[in-house]
Amino acid sequence: MNTTTQKKSNGNGASRALPARGVDWLHNPVFNKGTAFTGAERDALGLRGLLPPHVQTMDEQVRRVMDNFRSKSNDLERYIQIVGLQDRNETLFYRVVMENLEELMPIIYTPTVGKACQEFGHIFRRTRGFYISSEDRGQMESILQNWPTHDVKVIVVTDGERILGLGDLGASGMGIPIGKLSLYTACAGIHPTQCLPITIDVGTDNETLLKDPLYTGLRQKRIRGDAYDALIEEFMVAVEKQFPGVLVQFEDFGNSNAFRLLEKYRDRACTFNDDIQGTGSVALAGILSALRITGGKLRDQRVLFLGAGEAGIGIADNIVNVLVEEGLTPAEARKCVWFVDSKGLIVKGRGNLTEHKLHYAHDHAPCADLFSAVKSIKPTMLIGASGQAKTFTHEIITTMASLNERPVIFALSNPTSKAECTADEAYTWTDGRAVFASGSPFFPVNVNGRVHVPGQGNNAYIFPGVGLGIVCTGARRVTDSMFIVAARTLASLIRENELAEGRVYPSLQRIHEVSLAIAIAVAEEVYAKKLNTQPRPADLPGYIRSQMFKPEYPDYTKK
């Protein structure tokens, strides 16, 4: 077969050039079926003799993969094994992940992906994704042509400066775009060949990495200022030219760049920042679900944040936007939201506040720490987005319990080692009265004979469905209203029996139902705002469903 003349779809519409000869089929993860190639395919494709004679079903392959996965001694070894499968056989990888999402999501994403990024240079096996460095200035447009597919719909890009709560990991942050795009496919069915992970390597200020002989990135301090901005501008222009209309998701940029890059490009390109908007949306959904348990109204809440970075501000902005929709002025809405950062309570009169913090600086006496702020503000909801472990102490949580019959406590920092408190601490210290959610998964907790199931505020509930709605409509821009719609949709999907268990998010087993519902709601918002470039189909839900990738092997003997 000739790669220049024949192409075949592998799944739901995306296509790539077919491998040229027998062994090439086994080395191409998009087309490889491994031991599942049929006898007829082995004859037609020149594979006879290159595989063991028994033709396995996909179910048999899944069993083998999961048996091997569960035999590994630790989560990092499980990560290495499962991404190795992704590098060999993408269709089988997604079948395995989709069928075992609750078990595998903590491995392919938080918390294990954080450890994988820290060890990236040491566990590196096979390249995946696309690397652009500051040495590529002036030639990004040409090097992007090296990517093997042209039908790219979604890009996740990082510069590695703020990987989860782990800080600057430079080029080792590539594990994050890879993991995020795996969830775009596994949760919402965006075809894997339409996903492109990118790391922009501008150096790192992490001295440990710079001294590590196995570090895979540039051995230099981060470039900043005008040189950095020029590099990002060249990147944004180049990807739009190479992949017109592509959705660009900014991921794990440092605070100093994240907010201003979002403001710079949100009206120029189809782009969003998941750490700001995605986190804001999933947390808002959790808050709306929590109110179904506590019985309160959003306008009556006092929400206190620990951490005033991308995640905290993103959540607060979404709360304010919803309250404005409900009739409050922006100033009135912001009075419901308070912040504590590393210098204490953010209040008017405090010097050197960044613009995004100034919006939430209120007239109030200073409070030096979180505990004094809790006693003074008397919040109904306490939300951690600080990246600082164990900061929700026993005295803070018990104080929240003394102030509220059902205190809402969200410890959202990732990975697990950075969580402000554990589920066990939140439930035990409140005698089981807390409404709890976290960024990383925790096991259910038994308090006084009652089992409480903690919610995981995982952005995977939001961004895959939002992305699917954007891709299916060809949206020109991404708006904050799309994330509000997504949050409301997610909150509406939580069932009464799930609320009774203490959950504020649906089970991950329902993630495909969730992503489809969010995609439909986002698509409706795109059409309502006339941001679409694709005509509205007669059957919108049916059309979106038809675009979702299904991990099934095609028959390569058929033309």
Catalytic residues: 109, 180
Residue closest to 511 by CA, chosen among 188, 211, 241, 248: 188
> Which two tokens mark 212?
């590590």
Buried b (16+ CB within 10 A) or exposed e, 68-97: ebeeeeeebebbbebbebbebbbbbbbbbb
> What does each C-alpha distance from 238 to 16, 81, 233, 235, 425 come to in angstroms?
22, 34, 8, 5, 49
Token pair 């902005």 is found at 317
Distance CA 412, CA 440 (A): 7
Q: Is 437 helix (H, G, I), strand (E, B) or coil?
A: strand
Element (H, E) at 411: strand 408-411
The dihedrals phi and psi of 248, each to the nearest 5 degrees, come to -110, 115
Alpha helices (runs of H) in 368-462, residue ranges in sequence order? 370-377, 394-403, 423-429
Alpha carbon of residue 23 to chain centroid: 35
DSSP letters, 208-270, are HHHT-TT--S-SSPPP-HHHHHHHHHHHHHHHHHHSTT-EEEE-S--HHHHHHHHHHHTTTSS
User: Which residues touch 308 (CB under 8 Å, ≥6 apart)?
Assistant: 339, 340, 341, 346, 356, 357, 360
- Say if residues 317 and 280 touch (Cβ distance below 8 Å): yes
DSSP letters, 315-333, are HHHHHHHHHHHTT--HHHH
Tell me how long the chain is.
559
Distance CA 442, CA 421 (A): 11
Distance CA 270, CA 559 (A): 36
DSSP letters, 421-433, are S-HHHHHHHTTT-
Determine whether 352 is exposed, middle or buried from the number of CB atoms within 10 Å of its CB (0-12, 13-18, 19+). Answer: exposed
Buried b (16+ CB within 10 A) or exposed e, 302-318: bbbbbbbbbbbbbbbbb
Residue/partner pairs of 386-389 with CB below 8 Å, 24 or more apart: 386/306, 386/307, 386/309, 386/312, 386/413, 386/420, 387/164, 387/165, 387/307, 387/309, 387/413, 387/418, 388/165, 388/306, 388/307, 388/413, 388/418, 388/420, 389/413, 389/417, 389/418, 389/419, 389/420
Element (H, E) at 17: strand 15-17
Residue closest to 133 by CA, chosen among 156, 160, 153: 160
The dihedrals phi and psi of 45, each to the nearest 5 degrees, come to -105, 5
Q: Is 128 helix (H, G, I), strand (E, B) or coil?
A: coil
